[in-house]
Amino acid sequence: MSAATRVYVARLAGTAVFDPGGDQVGRVRDIVILLRAQRAPRAVGLVVEVPGRRRVFLPLTRVTSIDAGQVISTGLVNMRRFEQRPHETLAIGELLDRRVQLADGSGDATVEDLSISQQRSGDWEVDKLFVRRVATHKGPIGIRRRGETQVVDVDAVTGLAGSGSAQAATLLLAAYDELKAADLADVLHDMGGTRRLEVATALDNERLADVLEELPEDDQVAILQGLETERAADVLEAMQPDDAADLLGELPDDQAARLLELMEPDEAKDVRRLLAYEDDTAGGLMTTEPVILGPETPIAHALAHVRRKDLQPALASMVFVVRSPVETPTGRFLGVVHFQAMLREPPHQSIGSILDTDIEPVGPDASLARVTRVLATYNLLAVPVVDPERRLVGAVSVDDVLDHMLPEDWRETDDDDDPTLLGPVAAVPPRTIAPGAPAREVRRG
């Protein structure tokens, strides 16, 4: 790479990383920056997401090329999960949207992007900032105009290290717009508490609900308690009832009761019902919103229901067929219709003609072990839950079972016994860090 190489970091988000043989290693998720007093900030590595949703550290010393749409590495990628250290800053996660002061005294600006360039020494430094001036006056009709944008040298601003004031998250979320909820949850989990809440607050209710369902319980509670009470109730309404019940169960009783009062009555009713069951029973595990239809429903209509974007894959594997009413608790449970069975029959045929009645439902008080045996015995992705009158009250999916069988901290635990590396295993030289700081090995991953 030449000394003139310059890269704007927001454009690196999602860029594919390849080894010298042309095989994709992962995708760039962030850039690790060292903010240094009296010197330009230095970029030391990339946070790369590799298969398995693991984020690892790739030193820039092991990057041989950064071109349009791709990063080429030496192939030496250590697979230990990336952990941000106190003296490090994430360019996308923490510097975008940061408010700074222009050194010439002309006002404040917001960082919308920054560039890193490779120096003759081989080091990468932050040299330019793309900023938008903060508007200080309103237009003739009272609307505040957006400030002008400009590219400035990094030493033309102060406050890049942060002032402690609230920071927006618009540009960060734009950079991570393509991430699935589980991947964005990983990003939030790695952030500091303040920044995590800023980003969570900037998400719309549906997106935040999806992300909360993928976070560890401690993070869920911290975010929900950091939101305004009315907003927190709205987010709970957007969550799956079983996930909302689990989260409310982690809150103090008075706070949980207040949030339930603020929720829409129909949404709160389902959650209250789930809270009445023990956590490790079918009632405590189930969702009250599987796909439930009457036996006269045409297959074409049933297929339209299972194609819903917000439906979990496990719950999309079958339709639960009941007598009216079709909202839990329903009329008498009749059986299930499997997704594959519907694909094999004419779309005008009713689902009642292809019922599977051999699957034995479980009761709300059935143990986790009982539910697991039924799932395994019938090779199911979900099992119906019925009350003593054989009315359907919900369904337990394999996702719910796994969440309760795995350790509580499974989202945070690395498999340190997995020796898998991308590229050949080699000795890794010490990582260069800020002046005066002790040297250490490059992190493995």
What are the extents of the domains in the chain? 98-158, 178-276, 292-405
Mean pLDDT of the chain: 86
Q: Which two tokens stand for residue 191?
A: 């952030």
Per-residue model confidence as pLDDT tens digits over 12-35: 988 999 999 889 999 999 999 999
pLDDT value of residue 413:
55
DSSP H or E segment with residue 99: strand 99-102
Equal fold, 178-276 vs 292-405 = no
pLDDT value of residue 141:
52
pLDDT value of residue 255:
95
pLDDT value of residue 77:
78
Is the pLDDT assigned to residue 196 strictly greater than 90?
Answer: yes
pLDDT value of residue 178:
84
pLDDT value of residue 78:
82
pTM: 0.73
Beta bridge partners of 396: 383
Per-residue model confidence as pLDDT tens digits over 313-340: 999 999 999 999 999 999 999 999 999 9
Short-list 207, 277, 206, 208, CA closest to 242: 277
Question: Is 178-276 a CATH 1.10.10.60 domain?
Answer: no
pLDDT value of residue 428:
35
> What is the architecture of the domain spanning 292-405?
Roll (3.10)
pLDDT value of residue 340:
94
Proportion of the chain above pLDDT 90, given as a percent:
63
HSE, side-chain direction, 13 A CA sphere, residue 273? 20
Mean pLDDT for 265-293 is: 92
Question: Contact, 109 vs 132, CB < 8 A?
Answer: yes
* Confidence class for position 263, pLDDT limits 50, 70, 90: very high
pLDDT value of residue 142:
54
Strands (E), 134-229: 149-153, 157-158
Per-residue model confidence as pLDDT tens digits over 140-194: 555 556 789 999 999 999 999 876 667 888 888 888 888 889 889 988 988 888 8
Is the pLDDT assigned to residue 222 strictly greater than 70?
Answer: yes
